[in-house]
Amino acid sequence: MTVATAPVVASDAAEAGSHKNRSRRHPLSAPRPRFSLGRLLPYLALTPFAAYVLIFLAVPTVLAVATGFFTEDGAFTFANITGIFTPTVLGTFWSSFWVSAVTAVAGAIIGALVCYALLGLKPDGVIRTVVNSASSVFAQFGGVMLAFAFIAAIGSQGLITVFLSDRLGINIYENGVWLYQVPGLLLPYLYFQVPLMIITFMPALEGLKVQWAEANATLGGTRFTYWTRIAAPVLAPSFFGTLLLLFANAFSSYATAAALISQGSQIVPLQIRSALRSETVLGRENMAGALALGMIVVMVVVMWGYSVLQTRASRWQR
Amino acid sequence: MFKKRTLGAAAIIAAAAITLSACSSDSSTPAGSTGDIDATTATSAEAFGGVDALVEAAKAEGQLNVIALPDNWANYGAIKALFEEKYGITVNSADPDISSAEEIQAADNLKGQDTAPDVFDLGTAVALASTDYFAPYQVSNWAEIPDENKESTGLWVNDYTGSMSIGYDSNSVPEPTSLEDLLGDDYKGAVALNGDPTQAGAAFAAVGLAAVQSGGTLDDFTPGIEFFGELNKAGNFIPVDATQATIASGETKVVFDWSYNNLAVASTVDGWKVTTLPGAAYTSYYNQAISKDAPHPAAARLWQEFLFSPEAQNLFITGGAYPVTLQAMTDAATVDTDALSAIGELDGELVTPTEEQSEGAATLLASDWAAAIG
């Protein structure tokens, strides 16, 4: 949500700011200074962040993606780009996409339901506080630790696996050890997607005012009309924003998958690893840049779809 | 005329003086060596004035940066320790678990820094593709290394090989005697590779072995890929990177890996046994090379002398690998016969892919492997 709604927030703030400028700080009678330090100061404060984004995000991205257009010897080429359109690589893009989409949608729905349930509890009650802080921790609990936790719990010699097969005679890996393949990513990803949904969506739900429900009731509305006519339209923009955040979160996730999947490089980040480190299929280092570009394109398309959706969802606000 | 000549001579002397002083100022000339030696261009110990002078020069450097040498790989732990003990040179072992390709990337990224790798231990495909990074060097017993095992100027030299073997947990699965055995119900979710064949040499070799064992040749890895595809369909393939830890935990009960890796596990994990299938045996040498940008050029050269000496070559045998001077050592009776009989001689038809076959197989794996085991 942070990523997606940032522009909206920024423009709101700018609007509010300029309004303030005109009406309060600079009365119409006062002469308007052209370049005052006071007006530049807010931008100056942005410098550390802008420099950070430039150095650690923009420059590395441009450099990495640029390598995709060159051969090892530095000659310009489209070979790496066309390399994306081979069945194997396209297959990994599809795997990456559906894993991200499934975990984002499932995570968003489960997370939203948990938020709704929490809404019925006292805001400063024990359960809500515990769920909130636990979610903040679990949302960041990804990577190798998470993969290891899953291997220890439901790996082929994991605690739960062994218990199920020894005590209950259930072999969860009857048809192969799926934990180490693409479907095996769903559970670990949900593990951090659901809490992320809770911590980002909860504030939006808390923003629903009691007065709206009362107004609805006063005007003869039902609970159903409250949720469909009032709550849903109000919540839609932040719901879809969070959904996009979850998608991006899963799409770019690398360490969890790298620790779980060691065969076939079945999602795009693992293809990038393979291109960079392979000692058997040589000369594909620059392919990594092209794959990164492909990931960016997918994200751009998804963000575009999101903005179309967002425009529709927030039409009532204008 | 006379004047011109003196002027010329003076110029030459001046130039020589500058060059010489420049040399002596930045080279750490060891005591006892004759004149100034540029270790970075030395192609044999003779350039230093003999092995003893090389040892002195290396000791003066005091450090050696090695990379991608795990302690439990072909006995490298013992080999590094002996080198440190024998010469009093600190061995800095960086990134033990990276791939051959990443060794070359490290040389690129760390170029000019004193943490850059001095020496490489590389799979053949990467070694052949990276000769620009190497400095040629011929060890004292150069003649003992068969011609087909070395680049003629000494850019890279075959050092040790394993045979692709099958390690298995004898406490929970029967000994496999053929590839077909592994498709049976005894091996549900049990069979693993050491890495992904599109990335790791050991797994690549396992597919190659499966290809020749299925009646194919190294010209076409398809039967090997198909075998692992069937293994996966039968639910017997476990896509976990086999390590000592996964073997100890019982997660990977059957592992295709180099004989020296499987033997290293056998010495620590109870019940782990190593077997090779009758018929063709797949071997592939790992190569030694010196980085041309080595921050410790003399130590790098001494490391080569040491690795190809009978002392270190016998340590490879103890670790389950077959060193390149095995024949010469057998002839000279310097071989550790106990260690050799413990791992058994390499027998059967030995197959090793040529450069062309490796490239063909790599292309095939890149397009077909993911689908076969997906």
Sorted by where each starts, the structural domains of chain A and their CATH numbers stand as 86-317 (1.10.3720.10)
Q: A318: helix, coil or strand?
A: coil
Mutate to test the interface with A, among B198, B247, B282, B365 (most CBs of A within 10 A): B198
- Cα(B254)–Cα(B266) distance, integer angstroms: 12
Q: Is residue B146, in this structure, part of any structural domain at all?
A: yes
Å from B284 to nearest chain A CA? 13
Pair B325, B353 in one domain: no
Q: Which residue of A has its CA nearest to B358?
A: A280
Pair B244, B359 in one domain: yes
Å from B327 to nearest chain A CA? 29
Q: Considering only CB atoms, which chain B residues are within 8 Å of A280? A: 123, 125, 197-201, 204, 358, 361-362, 365
Q: What pLDDT is recorded for position B15?
A: 52
Q: Considering only CB atoms, which chain A residues are within 8 Å of B249? A: 157
Q: Is residue B194, in this structure, part of any structural domain at all?
A: yes
pTM: 0.77
Q: Domain with B212 in it: what CATH number? A: 3.40.190.10
Band the pLDDT of B31: cuts 50, 70, 90.
very low
Pair B208, B355 in one domain: yes
Q: A77: helix, coil or strand?
A: coil
Q: What is the average pLDDT value for chain B, to the nearest integer?
A: 86
Q: Considering only CB atoms, which chain B residues are within 8 Å of A155? A: 251
Q: Is residue B323, in this structure, part of any structural domain at all?
A: yes
Cβ separation of B240 and A177 shorter than 8 Å? yes
Pair B249, B356 in one domain: yes
- Cα(A156)–Cα(B144) distance, integer angstroms: 48
Number of domains in chain B: 2
Give CA angle at B90 (B85, B94), nearest 5°: 125
Q: Looking at residue A253, what DSSP letter applies?
A: -
Pair B66, B211 in one domain: no
Q: What is the pLDDT of residues A12-71, one digit of tens each?
A: 434 444 444 444 444 444 555 566 677 778 888 888 999 999 999 899 889 888 888 888
Q: Is the Cα dihedral A188, A189, A190, A194 positive or negative? A: positive
Q: What is the pLDDT of residues B336-370, one digit of tens each?
A: 999 888 888 887 788 888 888 988 999 899 888 88
A-B interface: how many C-beta pairs under 8 angstroms?
112
Q: Is residue B4, in this structure, part of any structural domain at all?
A: no
Pair B185, B152 in one domain: no
Q: Which residue of B has its CA nearest to A175?
A: B235
Amino acid at the residue B45: A
Pair B288, B151 in one domain: yes
Q: Is residue B44, in this structure, part of any structural domain at all?
A: yes
Interface of A with B in 162-181 (CB under 8 A): 173-177, 180-181
Q: What pLDDT is recorded for position B77?
A: 93
B213 pLDDT higher than 70: yes
Q: Which of B102, B122, B125 sits opposite A280 (nearest CB)?
A: B125
Helices (H), A76-120: 79-84, 87-119
Q: Which residue of B has its CA nearest to A264?
A: B370
What residue numbers bound the domain in which B82 lies?
Answer: 39-161+284-343
- Cα(B295)–Cα(A158) distance, integer angstroms: 46
Pair B107, B220 in one domain: no
Pair B276, B288 in one domain: no
Question: Which H/E stretch holds residue A166?
Answer: none
Band the pLDDT of A295: cuts 50, 70, 90.
very high
Q: Is residue B55, in this structure, part of any structural domain at all?
A: yes
Q: Is residue B207, in this structure, part of any structural domain at all?
A: yes
Cβ separation of B189 and A156 shorter than 8 Å? yes
Contact criterion met (CB below 8 Å) for A314 and A93: no
- Cα(B41)–Cα(B135) distance, integer angstroms: 7
Pair B93, B233 in one domain: no
Q: Is residue B258, in this structure, part of any structural domain at all?
A: yes
Q: Is B297 on the interface with A (CB under 8 A)?
A: no
Q: What pLDDT is recorded for position A70?
A: 86
Q: What pLDDT is recorded for position B86?
A: 94
Interface of B with A in 216-245 (CB under 8 A): 232, 235, 237-241
Give CA angle at B253 (B339, B256), nearest 5°: 60
Pair B127, B213 in one domain: no
B5 pLDDT higher than 80: no
Band the pLDDT of B188: cuts 50, 70, 90.
confident
Pair B238, B312 in one domain: no
Which position has the higher pLDDT, A9 or A244?
Answer: A244
Cβ separation of B101 and A87 shorter than 8 Å? no
ipTM over 0.85: no
| Residue B286 bridge partners (DSSP) | B123, B160
